[in-house]
Amino acid sequence: MMKGVPKMLLVSVALLAWACSLASAYDPSPLQDFCVAINDTSSDHAVFVNGKFCKDPKLATANDFFFSGLDTPRDTSNPLGSNVTLLNVDKILGLNTLGISLARIDFAPYGLNPPHIHPRGTEILVVLEGTLLVGFVTSNPDNRFFSKVLYAGDVFVFPIGLIHFQFNVGKTNAVAFAGLSSQNPGLITIANAVFGSNPPINPDVLAKAFQLDRNVVNYLQKKF
């Protein structure tokens, strides 16, 4: 009986350590140096795995870990006045299993990267040029809003799964770069997901949920 207790404790500690390792890195930890993804999913027999199939490591080259051109400003002449260039595992196949990706975000004056969620990644953003009003909102019931105006050289963190945005409040273009803690952080743009789903959500649901008139919901559903 007494002998069994330390064993139980050991199991609990091992389980806790395992849980902590899951919490510290959202993507599973790699079990080899790298696992360059094979990008061809066109085969009829391809199946989804948690991640991508790997290339034979002997066939990997430096280009599997390389991307060029992130110094070029992107076109921001769209209704939001922003443009996100995300280098995830689909763009740099060598990112597979490594739990990280990178984005460049360009903003026209008053350009907005609208409220969105990355379901699988925390984001750390650095402003290179311009002035950004940024913020995120915590989960229920508090829904606390954490916000800051950022200038060149300033860094801000957006925790995994929380709604956040970046808004250029300056009179010039703005540029930021962001690291994300997943090879495939995912993106849910709130307005598009709610009002632009395919097929549309029953307008009565949205009218009640957002306490809006049906006509306003119809208008928003047409817009998105």
**Which residues would be at the binding site for ligand NAG (CB under 6 A)?**
39, 74-75, 78, 83, 90-91, 93
Q: Tell the smallest beta-carbon distance from residue 201 to ligand NAG (Å).
A: 24
> Least CB distance from residue 90 to ligand NAG, whole Å?
5
Nearer to ligand NAG, 24 or 42 (CB): 42
User: Which C-beta is closer to ligand NAG: that of 2 or that of 47?
Assistant: 47
DSSP letter for each residue of 93-125: GGGTTS--EEEEEEE-TT-EEEEEE-TT--EEE
Nearer to ligand NAG, 71 or 142 (CB): 71
| CB 59, min distance to ligand NAG, A | 15
Find the radius of gyration of the CA atoms of the chain.
22
**Shortest CB 170 distance to ligand NAG, Å:** 20
In this structure, which long-range contacts are made by residues 137-142, counting pairs with CB atoms below 8 Å and at least 24 apart in sequence?
Answer: 137/162, 137/163, 137/164, 138/162
Question: From the CB of 83, what's the least distance to ligand NAG, in Å?
Answer: 4
The residue written with tokens 């995830």 in the block is 88
C-beta separation of 93 from 74 below 8 A? no
For ligand NAG, the closer CB: 90 or 129: 90
- Measured from the CB atom, the residue of 181 and 184 that comes closer to ligand NAG is 184
